[in-house]
Amino acid sequence: MITELFPSNKSKQNEAPFVIAGPCSVETPEQLMTTVGQLKKEGISWIRGGVWKPRTRPGSFEGVGEIALPWIQAAKKEFGVKFAIEVASANHVELALKHDMDMLWVGARSTANPFTVQEIAESLKGAKVPVLIKNPINADLSLWQGAFERFQKAGITDLAAVHRGFSNLREQVYRNSPMWQIPIDFKRTFPEIPMICDPSHIAGKRSLVQIIAQKALDLSFDGFLIESHHQPDLAWSDAAQQLTPQALGEMLKNLKTRSIHF
Ligand code: PEP
Ligand code: MN
């Protein structure tokens, strides 16, 4: 169960948070191997990487697709890490499970679509893999709650929530408004569901990632999903917000332990 990966509530004060880190997108076998190797050196053993990337506007990089799955299997074998990828259809789920992915996540654009959520939930029946459900792209608490209800009704209960912020109407300091009240309200209705923060997609700039991560720790979030790339400025997607593995390790060391509780 995913809950076993998080520091237990009693000892939360002193334990390091659970961290999943890795590139926004899996780009090439070389990029993946180098980034994962460097993350492993920083003590990260759960890796993320987008293979299929639903984008808001056409023309942006939408992921290399299925060919990345054997590259991920090779990186898992080489470094002994676990891997999480995004799925946006039943076909993605089938391919991900066939290629030994250890965790799946539903992206913000998919959470906003109940038919997509239903399709993914049903395709996971009987699977053992934990699933993260990101908040919907817009500030709609009910859609997020509804996605969890759909999964639970399909018998999928190994779940965690990811707060990745909400679309802004106009340019703001953060790429996506954190609106911290929404994950806090979510937690009141689903107290048993772990809450992970994705500071990368909230911040949008690498200089702001630590501020968001610290706030999440102060609010007793259970862990992080963070973007990290060995050459962030050359990344094929979300270049501005990715940290090098070394900068990520440094940032995690600088975070202060939790102070406030839900
Ligand atoms: C991502 O994790 O790279 C991503 C596209 O996230 P989101 O669905 O939160 O926009
Ligand atoms: Mn991204």
Q: Whose CA is nearest to atom 10 of ligand 1?
A: 108
Is 138 contained in some domain? yes
| Position 16 pLDDT exceeds 90 | no
Is 16 contained in some domain? no
ipTM strictly over 0.95?
yes
Strands 159-163 and 166-167 come out as unpaired
pLDDT digits (tens, 9 = 90+) for 212-233: 999 999 999 999 999 999 999 9
Ligand at shortest distance from the CA of 55: 1
Percent above pLDDT 90 for the chain = 90
Query: For a substitution probing ligand 1, which of 48, 53, 174, 236 has the most ligand atoms within 8 Å of its CB?
Result: 53
Q: How confident is the model at residue 14 (pLDDT cuts 50, 70, 90)?
A: low
Q: Whose CA is nearest to atom 4 of ligand 1?
A: 107
Calculate mean pLDDT across residues 127-138: 97
Distance (angstroms) between ligand 2 centre and the Cα of 27 equals 12
Task: Count CB neighbours of 77 within 10 A.
Answer: 10
| CA–CA distance, 152 with 145 (Å, rounded to integer) | 11
| CA–CA distance, 84 with 103 (Å, rounded to integer) | 4
- Structural domain range at position 129: 21-54+61-254
Query: Per 3-state DSSP, what percentage of the chain is helix, strand, and coil (rounded to 5)?
Result: 40, 15, 40
Is 249 contained in some domain? yes
Q: Whose CA is nearest to atom 6 of ligand 1?
A: 107
Token readout for 4 is: 């076993």
Q: Residue 18: which residues within 8 A CB-CB, separation 6 or more?
A: 5, 6, 7, 46, 196, 222, 223, 224
Residues within 6 Å of ligand 1 by CB = 24, 50, 53, 107-109, 134, 164, 201
221: domain CATH number is 3.20.20.70
| CA–CA distance, 163 with 156 (Å, rounded to integer) | 20
Strands 159-163 and 195-197 come out as parallel
Is 201 contained in some domain? yes
Is 8 contained in some domain? no
pLDDT digits (tens, 9 = 90+) for 134-160: 999 999 999 999 999 999 999 999 999
Q: How confident is the model at residue 115 (pLDDT cuts 50, 70, 90)?
A: very high
| Position 11 pLDDT exceeds 60 | no
Is 4 contained in some domain? no
Q: What is the pLDDT of residue 6?
A: 83
**Secondary structure class of 33 (helix, strand, coil):** helix
Distance (angstroms) between ligand 1 centre and the Cα of 48 equals 11
Measured in degrees and rounded to the nearest 5, phi and psi for residue 124 equal -95, 0
Strand partners, 19: 224
Is 38 contained in some domain? yes
Overall domain count for the chain? 1
Is 9 contained in some domain? no
Q: What is the pLDDT of residue 28?
A: 98
Do 39 and 232 meet the contact criterion of CB atoms below 8 Å apart? no
Calculate mean pLDDT across residues 191-214: 98
Token readout for 203 is: 């911040």
| CA–CA distance, 95 with 36 (Å, rounded to integer) | 21
- Model's pTM, two decimal places? 0.96
Do 24 and 229 meet the contact criterion of CB atoms below 8 Å apart? yes
What kind and span of H or E run contains 105? strand 103-106
Q: What is the pLDDT of residue 32?
A: 98
Distance of CA 181 to the CA centre of its chain: 20
Q: How confident is the model at residue 7 (pLDDT cuts 50, 70, 90)?
A: confident
